[in-house]
Structure 1
Amino acid sequence: MAPPRQPLFTASRLQSATYLLGVCPFSIAFLVFLNSSVSFVVSDVIGLESGEGDAIGTLGFADELLALVACPVWGLLSDKIGVRYVCTAGYAIIALSLVLFVQASNVYPQLLLGRLLFSLGGSAVSTMVTAVLPTVTESNNKSNQQRRSHHIWRASLSSEVTITPSRFERRLSRQAEAEQTASSSSRLAGFVGMFAGCGALIALAVFLPLPARFEKYGSSPADAVKQSYYIVSLVALIISIVCFFGLRNLPGEQGKHLRSLWTPPSEAVESNGSQPSSSVNHLNLLYAFSLSFKQPDILLGYVGGFVARASSVGISLFIPLFVNHYYRNSDLCSNPGSDVISRRDLGDIKKSCPEAYILASILTGVSQLIALLCAPAFGYLSEKSRRSNFPLLFATIAGITGYVAFPLLPSPQFKGPNGNGGVFLIMSLIGISQIGAIVCSLGILSNGVLSINPQPSHERPSLQVPNPSEDETHSAPQGEHEPLLSKPGSSLATNNLNHLKGAIAGIYSLYGGAGILILTKLGGLLFDVLSSGSPFYIMAIFNGMLLVSGIACGLWRYQRMSA
């Protein structure tokens, strides 16, 4: 008899709701709010008269530099104290940074320090989006793993006899459960992408209109911006509290507490029963990085994170920049220039060229809407084709096509003499590329952490088992849904990397931060000196790299299965 279908969540309803409705959307919402409103802080609160663009660019660059270091450190810390405390601390830091951000009276060093503090909190919560995913889909708790490990040892020493029908049925059940756990991880990754997209909508629809609302009620521009930041800070504090209570007792997080920071590893083993191999040390980050050279699935997840984070910048930064550049070069802006608006507003596309701002908003909105709608579909398709990575390959092909085609259009407009409605199709392809990289990389990485991969033929368990008496002795306490028994050294129990999920999530975020830095600096430079389409061609190259990696990983799996 086949086992019941693995549920999407193995965590409780409260834990799952906290993850999907709290951690996922607001890890994006606060970042979008800050990036979109920082220009108002610089102009209205600080009153910077010139050099606004340079100041904002420097703040963003410093943010990413700190995140490159902070993400792996937060991941490493979560392996020691648990993802719950890192999520709580991350959102608390964000709340504090938003308050301090609008207290600044100069860009350097006050606003810079506020942005770095926000980066510290933001890197914590963004890393935990990845780290919590395998936790809420892990189907076995600590005691189950201990029983499983004991049973594997007994099975490896027992005599080989003809398999009984009941034993064979249980083995099939366990194999099916392992595959269903991977399916749960892939499906959940689709919902993670969807709710993360909802976080951007929360920022655009709820947070960003706050300054205008406060101005409408009589506040000055500077006070309106400050009051908005206070409101958003309060929301961040509430999310921090929700994470503290909602993520308690997550599966696989037993024995992880704040006191682990000062408890020697030997005492931690004695007090909570954890294995010495799961204690966090400074080598875990190096080991998590080295996994990219040992496990193609982990490498593919890392490269997917690289492309996914770069895609977000390609859409949010370079599409508006490209549209603004086109409007200015074509003399399509209705504002004549400095005679109408102040000098400090010339760098603000909303004020200096509102037509370009409207078009850029439409194009990026279409891209993000398609991404939001396609997220669950990518999660479902990833579940069905874990061996071939077809959804990821399709997303990369869509990305290559979209990013190459967009700068080649005679105009980014969808109407007018040079306009073409095909720009919406191109934006859809770019959105599909972004969400495909996000969802598929999360699913692949989560399955890699749980070590749920197709087994090669020589590692599949034979139809020879312990004698019936031993089987009856151990079958009762283990239950019908224990993972598939396999040879020592190839079992899910020994290959499971769940104790390193934080370190792996940190390296995943590190790759993503590297993608953002390379695209922003190299793409921005080539935009000025070579062509306005350069950032999009770079994104096409990134997607090509991911396509090659996906094909190579698929070939590796095929050879491993046929070995």
Structure 2
Amino acid sequence: MASQRTLFTASRLQTLTYLLAVCPFSIAFLVFINSSISFVVTDLIGLHDGEGDVVGTLGFADELLALAACPIWGALSDRVGVRHVCVAGYAIVAISLVVFVQAKNIYPQLLLGRLLFSVGGSAVSTMVTAVLPVVTGSTSRPQEYQRSLSSDSTLTSDQPTSPDAANEPRTVTGSSSRLAGFVGACAGCGALVSLALFLPLPERFQKSGLSPAEAIRSSYYVVAVVAVSVSICCLFGLRNLPGEERKGWKSFLSTFRRQAPEPRQSQGCQDDGLYPLSYWRQLRTAVSLGFQNQEILLGYVGGFVARASSVGISLFIPLFANHYYRAAGLCNNDPPKEIFASDMGDIKKSCSEAYILASILTGVSQLVALLAAPLFGFLSEKSRRYHLPLLVSALSGIVGYLAFALVPNPQFKGPDGSVGVFILMALIGISQIGAIVCSLAVLSNGILKISAGEKFPRAHYEQDRGEQPLYEADRVSNEDQPLLEGSGNQNVQQQYSQLKGSIAGVYSLYGGAGILLLTKLGGYLFDTLNSGSPFYLMAAFNVILFVTGIICGLVNKARSTQAQVAP
């Protein structure tokens, strides 16, 4: 009988909820609040001096809190389940949007509202990564799954399998890579939803007769209702996810003790009880896995570059265009004026020509990224040994960012302009989406590889469980030790495979570090060195990703060669 090929272990409803609710709106609400916060400061609070500094401070505080919140949410999801974290995250986002427009001053009220949004936003952004391996799952045939992960193509039904495995269920192992491509596309669509539906709301309310302050407040209420709706969708759409059945809020304050073991079915069979780690040890283990598993390491580095790329495009390209127009005296025939990264403010008001150019350049970059997302997912599925798509995206980033930093004129028309700038924007867009999609795919495959039985040193796990209570079932005599060693290793793998959320949290932690490093160091270099410095820094980040990808590919090749010559 031919084996049945299944794309995902999750149901269609669960997959659609993930793609159409969790992924797009994790970006949509962030884009909305980042784009509308200046209007809250000016129209609602009434502050018209130092607006740029306030917006920058609030954004920095948001990222700083998210840096700590993402790993915590990830570790929590390993205990209570990704569904509950998604529901809580979007509920907190809804509450924060309502609280945000109740503020009467910047500090502390507006700051507290932004920090509350950061707590909810970090939860949903982390779950975008954590839900991916849960939806795609892993095969029940570990040896076949291991072979597939080290190959450059997916399994086909005509590949040889053992007679005992003929009727076992099969999962297409490239499903996480393919789904990662759709995740990137859906996230891009989330930004479009915000731009097309959320951001025009204040203008529409003003046309209906409301004052600017009332229009802003009503817009936030409408978006808060949408956030509540998404939370409800996650509550019902993500029910009974594979591997999440036993998780819930009852485990929030678990005593970290294993339940009494069930009767063994046969001699030497390990029970399903696990030794839950503390939250701190969950995160520590997730960090250490990055040094033990090259896929997880590459995913972490890719996440660092991916999040930094988003800032490089959304912040520094407009800043670069604004700097060029002001330095050349092209802003409404104003005389040349020095501009600093801390004076970013509202480019649309200060120099409309620069704003239009920046919108076109970033729009081209994001459009290319949106179109390329599914392609990168497909290519990641086809090259899981050498990670060629990720290397291509890193190389595109190196070339694109270096060339853009060196262009004397970012304009695409005029006597000194060139349409070649669009090629650079396309390369930068490819770099961004390639890092996003491929890092998600590589990280998910690394998690599934652990679940499939990849061996890790027991010493680290024994150290983690050193303070855990001992059980009579574990106090075995020396003659039984060889028999139970394999079961112990299997239990170690079970323990590691339950850290999907913690790994996703650390992935987001790397991404947040990339954002903070680029914004602070890039902004400082922009002010003190030259306007191309942030793009040189992004090129350096992509060099690190490229080198890491090469090293991981060589390690995979060496392991594959060693496995082929092994008796």
Amino acid at match of 1:138: G
Corresponding residue number in structure 2 for 1:349: 347
- What residue identity is the alignment partner of 1:17? L
Distance across 1 between alignment mates of 2:352 and 2:314: 17
Aligned to 1:277, the other structure's residue is in SS state: coil
Q: Is the 8 A contact 1:102 1:229 kept in 2?
A: yes
Deviations 1:492-536 (A, max 9, x none): 886464310010000000000000000000000000110100000
Label 1:219 to 1:381 Cα distance change in 2 as closer, same or farther (>3 A): same
Report the CA distance shift for 1:108/1:279 in structure 2 as closer, same or farther (over 3 A): same
Distance 1:301 1:287 in 2: 16
1:335 Cα deviation from its structure 2 partner: 7.0
Cα shift at 1:166: 10
8 Å CA contact 2:387–2:553 kept in 1: the answer is yes
Does the Cα contact within 8 Å between 1:297 and 1:448 map onto a contact in 2? yes
Question: Would you say the 8 A contact 1:314–1:536 is kept in 2?
Answer: yes
CA shift for structure 1 position 105: 1.2
Determine which of 225, 245, 249 is the counterpart of 2:240. 249
Q: 1:312-323 maps to which residues of 2 (within 5 A)?
A: 312-323=310-321
Q: TM-score, normalised by structure 1?
A: 0.84
User: For residue 246 of structure 1, what is the amino acid of its counterpart?
Assistant: G
Matched, 1:418 2:401: no
Deviation at 1:336, TM superposition (A): 5.0
Q: What's the counterpart of residue 394 of structure 1? A: 392
CA distance in structure 1 between the aligned counterparts of 2:195 and 2:380, rounded to whole angstroms: 29
Equivalent position SS for 2:290: helix
Structure 2 equivalent of residue 374 of structure 1: 372
Q: How many angstroms does 1:169 deviate by?
A: 4.0
The alpha-carbon deviation at position 13 of structure 1 amounts to 1.3
Inter-CA distance 48–335: structure 2 relative to 1 (3 Å threshold):
farther
CA–CA separation in structure 2 for the residues paired with 1:305 and 1:269: 39
Deviation sequence 1:358-380 (CA, Å, 0-9, x none): 11111111101110100000000
Given candidates 186, 189, 192, the residue that maps to 2:180 is 189
CA distance in 2, matches of 1:173, 1:393: 38
2:162 paired with 1:168: yes
Task: Kindly state the Cα deviation for residue 349 of structure 1 after the two structures are TM-superposed.
Answer: 1.2
Q: Is contact 1:452–1:492 with CA below 8 Å preserved after alignment? A: no
- 1-side partners of 2:312 and 2:345: how far apart? 19
Distance (whole Å) between structure 1 residues aligned to residue 488 and residue 422 of structure 2: 48
Query: Which of the numbers 233, 255, 266 marks the counterpart of 1:264?
Result: 255
The answer (yes or no) to whether the contact 2:257–2:276 under 8 Å persists in 1 is: no
CA distance in structure 2 between the partners assigned to 1:346 and 1:186 by the alignment:
38
- CA displacement at 1:353 relative to structure 2: 1.0
- Residues 195-235 of structure 1 show CA distances to partners (whole Å, capped at 9, x for unaligned) of 01100111111111111111111211111111111111110
| 1:96-135 CA distance string (max 9 Å, x none) | 1011111111111111111100000000000000000000
Q: Does the Cα contact within 8 Å between 2:409 and 2:416 map onto a contact in 1?
A: yes
Query: Is the CA contact (8 Å cut-off) linking 1:455 and 1:561 kept in structure 2?
Result: no
Measured at CA, do residues 527 and 425 of structure 1 come closer, stay the same or move farther in structure 2, by a change above 3 Å? same
Q: Deviations over 1:389-432 (max 9, x none)?
A: 00000000000010001121121111011110011111000000
Q: Residue 301 of structure 1 aligns with which residue? A: 299
- Assess if the C-alpha contact under 8 Å between 2:76 and 2:279 holds in 1: no
Residue of structure 2 in register with 1:216 after alignment? 207
SS at match of 1:449: helix
Shift of 1:490: 12
Aligned counterpart, 2:229: 238
Aligned in 2, Cα 1:69/1:269: closer, same or farther, shift over 3 Å?
farther
Q: Distance in 1 between matches of 2:420 and 2:258?
A: 64
Partner Cα separation in structure 2 for residue 301 and residue 166 of structure 1? 31
Once the two structures are TM-superposed, the CA of residue 168 in structure 1 deviates from its matched residue by 2.8
Report what 1:51 is aligned to: 50
* Amino acid in structure 2 at the alignment position of 1:354: S
Residue 50 (structure 1) shift: 1.1
What TM-score comes out, normalization by structure 2 length? 0.84
Please point out which of 199, 216, 234 is paired with 2:190: 199
What is the distance in 2 between the residues matched to 1:313 and 1:172? 49
Structure 1 CA distance for aligned equivalents of residues 101 and 261 of structure 2? 48
1:4 Cα offset (Å): 2.9
Q: What count of residue pairs does the alignment treat as equivalent?
A: 501
Query: Per-residue deviation at 1:297?
Result: 1.1
State the shift of 1:53 in Å.
1.0
2:538 corresponding residue in structure 1: 539
AA aligned to 1:195 is C
What CA distance in whole angstroms lies between the structure 2 residues aligned with 1:346 and 1:28?
Answer: 22
The one-letter code of the counterpart of 2:224 is S
Task: State yes or no: 1:437 paired with 2:435.
Answer: yes
Cα distance in 2 for partners of 1:439, 1:500 equals 21
Counterpart for residue 408 of structure 1: 406
Deviations 1:15-57 (A, max 9, x none): 1111000000000000011111111111111111211111111
Preserved contact between residue 24 and residue 190 of structure 2 (Cα < 8 Å) = yes
Quote the Cα distance in structure 1 between the aligned partners of 2:125 and 2:246: 24
Q: CA RMSD in A?
A: 2.7
| Structure-2 change in CA distance of 1:513 and 1:304 (3 Å) | same
| 8 A contact 2:176–2:444 mirrored in 1 | yes
Q: Which amino acid aligns with 1:184?
A: S
Quickly say closer, same or farther: Cα 1:60–1:347, change in 2 above 3 A: closer
1:11 lines up with 2:10 in the alignment: yes
Q: Is the 8 A contact 2:94 2:228 kept in 1?
A: yes
